[in-house]
A = this chain, B = another copy of it.
Amino acid sequence: MENRNNHALIQALLDCALACEHCASSCLQEEDLNMMVDCIKLDRDCADICTQAARLLQRESVIGKQYLLLCEEICRLCAAECGKHDHEHCRQCAVTCEECADACHAHHEPIHQD
């Protein structure tokens, strides 16, 4: 079942996706809900993109390593937003996103842009 080359990276991506799902749901229960709007939005995008990245790497997609560039970007954005809030789920999500962003950074390949 293993993709040994990328095992730790794939786990970091799935952990990040789960942290973002949990953070979004928890934000929706908070009293200061109007403060949490950007957090909810970024959590959703980050969960979607990290999940997709994990699956591309696991199937050894030709575009997997390029995809990590986007993944790093959304993880940094989500970490920055979560880092503004004191809720425990935000604090944990910020840490997990930052770790995931670092893992993506270490493994990504450049995208051709013109």
Contact = CB atoms under 8 A, between A and B. Distances in A.
Contacts of A62: 41-42, 45, 77
Assembly stoichiometry (copies)? 4
A58 B82 CA distance: 18
User: Which of A18, A24, A58 is packed against the most chain B CB atoms within 10 Å?
Assistant: A18
Interface residues of A, number: 52
A47 B59 CA distance: 11
A63 B70 contact: yes
A8 interface: no
Nearest to A67: B70
A17 B77 contact: no
Interface of A: 1-3, 10, 14-15, 17-19, 21-22, 24-25, 28-29, 33-34, 37, 40-42, 44-45, 47-49, 51-52, 54-56, 58-63, 66-67, 69-70, 73-74, 77, 89, 92-93, 96, 110-113
